[in-house]
Amino acid sequence: MLNKTIINIIMLSSLFLAMGCEAGFIDTGLEKEQRTKEETTIASEEQQGAIDLKNEFVQLKQKEKEQELGIVPANLRIPAIKVEASVMKVGLLDNGQMGVPDNEEDVAWFEPGTKPGNTGNAVLAAHVDSREGPAVFWDLKKMEPGQEVFVTDEDGTELTFVVKRVERYPRDEAPIKEIFGNANSKNLNLITCTGTFDRANGGHEERLVVYTELKEDKVPENIEKPSSPTNVVVHDGYVTFHAVREVDIVGYRVYRAGEDGAFDLVTSISSHQRKSYTDSEARNYTYYVTAINKQGGESEPSEITKYRD
C-alpha cells in the first residue's frame, strides 16, 4: 500500500482556523494613512496564515515503508483558476498552529499528515490575500465539482485530483476531523480563508475548503479477490494477524471501529512487514483486516474481533 504517516486527530474542543489571510485585503475606501494604521494593528492581531491546532491532540504513528501512489508534493497546478505554485513542507509550530508559507505565492503541505495519493486526507493551505492584494488562493472560491487539480513531485510524477465539493464554514466551525483525519479514500483538501475580514477579531469570518479525490482507473469488477487474513487477535496495545499464503499478495489494510460501529481504515501494511498494528488504545476498539493483491483486488473482511481479557 501507500507510503503513509498516520495521523489521529482526537477532537477535544472546536478548533479555531485562522488561515492564509495576511492582514485581510479589503477595499474599504479609506485614505492611505488610515489603512496603514489599521494594517499595523491587524498584523499584530492575526498571526499570518495560522491554522490553530493547539486544542487538538495530534498523535503521529510510525511511518510505514510500503510503496504505492503517495508523493511528496513540489508543485501545484489548478488550470481552472490559473494557479501554478511551488509547494513547501510545514508542520506544527510551537504554539500548536499549522505552519504556512512566508509569502503569498507558495502553497504549504501539512507534512505530518498524509502524502497526496495515499489513503487519507492530504492537506494543502495557502494565503487568500495580503496587504498588497490577492494571493495564490484568491480564486479558490470559484472552484466547482468536476474540475481538476494537479500535484507534481520533484521527479515529475503527477497525480490528478477531481473536485468533489466546495464548502464554506464559519471560522470556529470547520470540521477538523473531516479535513485532517482518517479517510477510506485518497483525498486532497485545499484550505484558505474567505468572507469579510473581521477587524475586531483579526481574521476573516469564514474558512473555505475544496475537497478533492484522486482520479484513478477503476478496478475491473471481475478481478479476482484474495483470501481474507486469519487469526486476527486484539491484544492490549496492538493487533496481530496471519498472512495470506498467496503469491500475489502485496499488502494488508487494518480497519477499526469505535462505539458508533463505523469502520475506518487506520493503516496499511506491506506484505514484507510484520503482521501487526500498534495502537495504545486497542482494547477499546473493534478491528478487521483485509488483504490486497497485485491486481488491486481487496479481500472480504476477516473475522471482526475485539480485545478479550
Contacts 24+ apart (CB under 8 A), 108-112: 108/49, 109/72, 109/73, 110/180, 112/5, 112/7, 112/58, 112/60
Query: Cell triple for residue 287?
Result: 478491528
Question: Is the model's pTM score more than 0.85?
Answer: no
What's the CA gap between 115 and 134, in Å, rounded? 28
Which run of H or of E encompasses 180?
helix 176-180
Distance of CA 293 to the CA centre of its chain: 26
What's the CA gap between 230 and 219, in Å, rounded? 25
Q: What amino acid is encoded at 131 in this protein?
A: R
Q: What amino acid is encoded at 272 in this protein?
A: H
The answer to whether the Cα torsion of 91, 282, 179, 177 is positive or negative is negative
Name the pairing type of β-strands 186-198 and 97-98. unpaired
Mean pLDDT, residues 240-262 taken together: 92
- Give yes or no for a contact between 180 and 110, defined as CB atoms under 8 angstroms apart: yes
Q: How many CB atoms lie within 10 A of CB 289?
A: 28
pLDDT of residue 281: 93
- The DSSP secondary-structure symbol of 34 reads H
pLDDT of residue 203: 63
Mean pLDDT, residues 15-38 taken together: 36
Whether 15 shows a pLDDT value over 70: the answer reads no
Q: What is the pLDDT of residues 166-185, one digit of tens each?
A: 998 987 788 888 998 888 89
What's the CA gap between 265 and 279, in Å, rounded? 13
Which residue segments constitute the domains of the chain, with CATH numbers given? 75-214 (2.40.260.10), 220-306 (2.60.40.10)
- Residue 135: name the closest of 144, 126, 124 by CA: 126
Q: What is the pLDDT of residues 209-250, one digit of tens each?
A: 999 999 986 656 678 899 999 999 999 999 999 999 999 999
pLDDT of residue 303: 96
What's the CA gap between 69 and 213, in Å, rounded? 13
pLDDT of residue 219: 56
Whether 38 shows a pLDDT value over 50: the answer reads no
Q: What is the pLDDT of residues 276-301, one digit of tens each?
A: 999 999 999 999 999 999 888 899 99
